[in-house]
Structure 1
Amino acid sequence: MRPLRSSLVLAALAVASLAACAKVPSEAATAKATAPLTRTAGSSVEAKPVAGTPEARAVDAIHALEPRAVVEHVSAAPIPGFREAVVGGQVTYVSDDGRYMFIPGPGGALYDAQKKDNLTEASLSGLRQKLVQQIPASDRIVFAPPAPKHRVTVFTDISCGFCRKFHSQIAEYNALGIEVDYVAFPRAGIGSDDYRQMVSVWCAADRKKALTDAKNDRPVPQRSCKNPVDMEYDIGQRSGLTGTPMVIADDGTQLGGYVPPEKLRDILDQMDTKAAPAPTAKPAG
């Protein structure tokens, strides 16, 4: 089970998910679903339930996961054993003992508030890792420094503004030791103009140049060949992609949408620290 690795990563997941272009046509739904943990104090009046009640435990659980969240309302849920809370205009559900919180909708998840575990991500990351590993290196467009410290796989689209912003900083990611492996996800779907342009990119003799040109509205000659775009699009859908870019660590953890270079480096460093084995204690004497 993968811990949330502190509020930094939870906040990064929530905020970065907003920094993504949704699959057509669900952009509004995606933005609404990823907003609840990003609303800050001062934007609304927070509920103040009586201490020791299930309502108070619900508020405490939400704050344990994201201290900045403003809980606007909390009451009994339609199902026994849960409270219903409104955070940032969206309903979330918290168990009466304050242990579990469920955010419904696209991009939602089930959390263990005590352990600060994203239980949904823990389940999906293993599946996502296996799916992404099916994509051969030869089918990726790789931008890497000479000796990368980290690697991420990024599902990208050529027309998405956040994908373009990410790529405009590719030299910064590389300078921080991050290898970026791009795979294709045409948001408009198979057969769209976006799809045909991405096929041309993946069929180009110099795919790195073609991808950079496409993301900067420079013409890319139309080409057709045996290509992985359909396969990568299918893997993106099966991996739970809700918007592009989708940044995935080597262990399958989804790190969000657009994440600035230094923040991404910090998250990856923190993940490495958590994954490192504890030092062996020296015998006494």
Structure 2
Amino acid sequence: MTFDIFTILNLGIFIMSMLINLFALSLYKHFQVQGKQNIAMISTFFQFILDFIFAIGNLFLRLEIIAIKGEQNYVSFRMVYLDYFQTTFFSYCVCVFLFNTIYCFNFATVSITIFVRYAFVTLREIKIKHLMSMYLAALIALAVSLVPFCFYGMNSNVDLNIIYQTNLITGDIDETITSNSKSISLIMDLSVIIYLGPTFILLNVFFAIIFQILMRYRKYLISNKATMSESTRRLNNDFFKILLLQAVTPVLLLFLPTSKLVIF
């Protein structure tokens, strides 16, 4: 295994994420009241668990996005650690599908967690079955939306070794790319809109929910500040900060630093 800067970042972020989430999960029992958890805490700690799973998935399914310019422009998706295994075009599509599903589902759970927390503090009852239904619906919707992109958008006629072959032609030297380096590629034309459209729409819905609920939550805390005790106000402010951190973490911490965009 070649340890470049992206490998070091990947491992460092994995370790940090694991430690943070293990610490968060260790606090779970301290939020019980009469041996039970409220729905807001359950959804919050479920988010911590998913971050934990995502950190593991991101470690073993590390993705690089590589743009290749030429007579035909491509965007290639390379799972770095798959270089060490025999893979087919279909199995590669499955791995990219799993990575993107886990990644996008992180945004869905953040939006659900924020919504449930807001509903709880504004005295709107949400039961466990409703929470599980929201998670399941979001997961299914995302998985279905990613099928066109991962299984129909990727072109099976493009050489799996296109990145290595392009390096040979251009004379670029990258020690992390060898004759065993494989990827699947998406042809950059108008069909990209069709393949990515469903997922793009869903992610924008999640972003809109996150933004709207955070703004409403903040407004609620300010307008009800006088009726809250000091401890309640501090607890709600702390959770607002946690939710805000969870909203930006998937992009700023768990994905971008561990992947790279290269243009040949």
TM-score range, shorter chain: under 0.3
| TM-score, normalization by structure 2 | 0.25
Pick the structure with more helix per residue: 2
* TM-score normalized with structure 1 length: 0.23
Structure with the higher strand share, 1 or 2: 1
Larger relative contact order (C-alpha < 8 A, sep ≥ 6)?
Answer: 2
